[in-house]
Amino acid sequence: MANSFGFLTIGGVDSHDSPRAVRAWRYIRWCLCACSLLAIPAFYGELTATTDGALFAARALYVFMSAGFALSILRLLYLSKKRKALLSHNRLDVLITVGAALSAAWGAPPWQTAEWVLRLLFVGLVAVRIVLSLHDFFTPNRIVWLLAAGAAVLAMAGAGFMWLEPRVHSYAEGLWLAFESSATVGYGDIAPTTPASRVFAVFVVLLGYGMLSLVFASIAAAFIGKEERALRREMHRDIKRLNDEIARLHGELHALWDKLADSTVESGRAPRQGQRERG
């Protein structure tokens, strides 16, 4: 089944497609997710680059990302029997492939307004792709995984703020700013001041809010699940009693039919025996 966000979909390979393509998608989907994560260091590496070497490294990440997406799509197209449907179901991956290639070849900081819009649009598409790819994995009933993922996001966000925000002088301060941003508290003691840290804060807020929502939903589902399990057990007991009662009634009915059949046979024998005696 396709994961989608309106026009943007990552449907992968149709289950009725070639078996080889279906098997390949099981592994390629995680490769594409890993390639998507390259956009984060590439974007901020290019934004904060002060030397030609740093800029080259950031753009190399875009090249690797675009190549990974392109090779994965070409591999699926080679194995697929429904190539048009494959491209239609994976429009988001095609857009990211093109966007990563353009990011590697065009525009150097400081960016103009149009460049900022295009760069943020591309990073937004990558963020949507990461969320959609992890949608089936981070389901609300996996509290432990959600808590671990939330802790990992906070840890990485703290390191990111320490790197991007000049007012953050330690990892502890970066972690505190990450918590403030993800929890949408905003005490005001530390705030992002540079364009890079502000853009980073936007994604931390969106991702942190989503993670916290899933955690709270998981806790609520755990309480509701207990009540549902109790009701389900009670319903199963009622169904079992009902099945036993039906089985008992079936037994009694068969016994009555047997008795009725025996009485019919005996009543039929009696007239024939009387006729023979009179004869």
Question: What is the percent of the chain with per-residue pLDDT over 90, rounded to a whole number?
Answer: 11
**Boundary of a domain, candidates 136, 152, 169:** 136
Residue 61's contacts (CB-CB under 8 Å, 6 or more residues apart) are: 38, 39, 41, 42, 45
CATH of the domain at 166: 1.10.287.70
Q: What total of structural domains would you count in the chain?
A: 2
User: What's the gap between Cα 66 and its chain centre?
Assistant: 23
Mean pLDDT of 127-140: 70
Q: 225 pLDDT exceeds 80?
A: no
Both 129 and 144 in one domain: the answer is no
Burial class (CB in 10 A: 0-12, 13-18, 19+), 184: exposed
Both 132 and 174 in one domain: the answer is no
Mean pLDDT of 184-195: 82
Mean pLDDT of 252-278: 70
Lowest mean pLDDT among 11-15, 238-242, 251-255, 273-277: 273-277
Q: What is the pLDDT of residue 279?
A: 54
Domain range for 12: 1-136
Q: What is the pLDDT of residue 87?
A: 87
Both 146 and 125 in one domain: the answer is no
Q: What is the pLDDT of residue 40?
A: 84
Q: 107 pLDDT exceeds 90?
A: no
Both 167 and 183 in one domain: the answer is yes
Both 122 and 2 in one domain: the answer is yes
Q: What is the pLDDT of residue 165?
A: 87
Mean pLDDT of 32-46: 87
Q: What is the pLDDT of residue 1?
A: 45
- Please report, for residues 127, 142, 218, 226, the alpha-carbon distance to residue 146 in angstroms, rounded to integers and kept in the order given: 18, 6, 9, 20
Mean pLDDT of 183-210: 82
Both 102 and 30 in one domain: the answer is yes
Give the count of beta carbons closer than 10 Å to the beta carbon of residue 259.
10
Cβ atoms of 46 and 57 closer than 8 Å: no
Give pLDDT tens digits for 72-85.
Answer: 999 999 999 988 88
Which structure tokens are listed for 262? 């025996």
Q: What is d(CA 214, CA 210) in angstroms, rounded to the nearest whole number? A: 6
**Boundary of a domain, candidates 82, 106, 136:** 136
- Average pLDDT across the chain, whole number: 81
Both 186 and 258 in one domain: the answer is yes
Nearest one of 30, 57, 36 to 46, comparing CA atoms: 57
Which structure tokens are listed for 58? 């950031």
Q: What is the pLDDT of residue 77?
A: 92
- The full DSSP string for the chain is --EEETTEEE--S-TTS-HHHHHHHHHHHHHHHHHHHTHHHHHHHHHT--SHHHHHHHHHHHHHHHHHHHHHHHHHHHH-S-HHHHHHHTHHHHHHHHHHHHHHHS--SSP-HHHHHHHHHHHHHHHHHHHHHTTTTS-TT-HHHHHHHHHHHHHHHHHHHHHH-TT--SHHHHHHHHHHHHTT---SSS---SHHHHHHHHHHHHHHHHHHHHHHHHHHHHHHHHHHHHHHHHHHHHHHHHHHHHHHHHHHHHHHHHHHHHHHHHHHHHHHHHHHHH-
Q: What is the pLDDT of residue 63?
A: 93
Grade residue 147 by pLDDT with cuts at 50, 70 and 90.
confident
User: What letter represents residue 141's amino acid?
Assistant: N
Both 67 and 142 in one domain: the answer is no
Both 43 and 78 in one domain: the answer is yes
Both 232 and 175 in one domain: the answer is yes
Both 147 and 222 in one domain: the answer is yes
Cβ atoms of 40 and 130 closer than 8 Å: no
**Boundary of a domain, candidates 136, 169, 186:** 136
Grade residue 64 by pLDDT with cuts at 50, 70 and 90.
very high
Both 144 and 130 in one domain: the answer is no
Q: What is the pLDDT of residue 4?
A: 54
Q: What is the pLDDT of residue 66?
A: 93
Q: What is d(CA 157, CA 152) in angstroms, rounded to the nearest whole number? A: 8
Q: What is the pLDDT of residue 97?
A: 93
Cβ atoms of 100 and 92 closer than 8 Å: no
Lowest mean pLDDT among 97-111, 124-138, 156-170, 176-190: 124-138
Which tops the pLDDT comparison, 87 or 219? 87
Which structure tokens are listed for 193? 């001041």
Grade residue 117 by pLDDT with cuts at 50, 70 and 90.
confident
